[in-house]
Amino acid sequence: NMTVGRSLINAGQSNGRYAEERSFVSRAAATEYVYGTGLSGDGFSFDYTLPFATEVEVGYYDVNTSVGSWIGFEDGQNLLNIRVSHSLDISDSQSLSIGVNNVINNAKESQIKESRIMAVDATYTHGDSLTLETEYYSVQHDNQGTSKEDSGVAKQETQSGGYVSAVYSINDSYDVGARYSMFGGFGDAGTISEDSTQMTLMGARKITDSATLRLEYNNTDIRGTETTSVTAQFVFAIGS
């Protein structure tokens, strides 16, 4: 299958989800750090299903928006996304899916920098009642995020982070969930050398098949600055 046009880029299992497809109100702190509020682009993607439920997807895009990512995506940059995923039925009620992703972000020709994001994700489901999910990122920063060794030669920095989450459906109307996210610091000194963490609790009430009310609590520590927030979200989806 081939898709052409503007879309959220299917990088990892979480970036390509719209609000109505997410279990939580917000994106995990590590996901937002890496991909921003939703990494998207104009381009094309090609996916092919191999035997044994393995899928390969390759996409090439021009980034079309500044999405608030710390990695440095900018308008007009070209981006190559490669994803391999595999789904496995453990039993009649249990399933496991695993994915590996590589995002290569090349800047405009006038700039000399490149970022790479390697990601591994896994999702376990038990019927309609329990979903366990994790995603791990390893980010190689461009030369804006370099430090210098004793020789004075610049080197690229590697930063890692990710999240784990659990969502439990009490019944057809109520869901509860918890998520922990972290991303490490990088650099020889300064505020970016500190780790950041986030703890999230969520409750959701399904009002109708197309309407859901969510309430979310977040405690976030971004490089030593702690914030607490409570957010309510009403999602109404039209169409299938």
90 near 71, Cβ under 8 Å? no
pTM: 0.84
Give the C-alpha separation, 195 to 181, whole Å. Answer: 11
- Domain extent, residue 52, equals 2-236
At 191, which CATH number? 2.40.160.10
Q: What is the mean pLDDT of the chain?
A: 84
- Looking at this protein, which amino acid is placed at residue 76? G
pLDDT for residue 190: 43
Reduced to 3 states (helix: H, G, I; strand: E, B; else coil), residue 19 is helix
**pLDDT by residue (tens digit) across 111-131?**
455 678 899 999 999 999 999
Distance CA 122, CA 82 (A): 16
Nearest of 71, 72, 57 to residue 7 by alpha carbon: 57
Distance, CA of 228 to CA of 206 (rounded, Å):
25
Q: How many domains does the chain have?
A: 1
Check residue 150 and give its pLDDT: 44
1-31 per-position pLDDT tens digit: 888 888 888 888 888 888 888 899 999 999 9
Three-state DSSP at 192 gives: helix
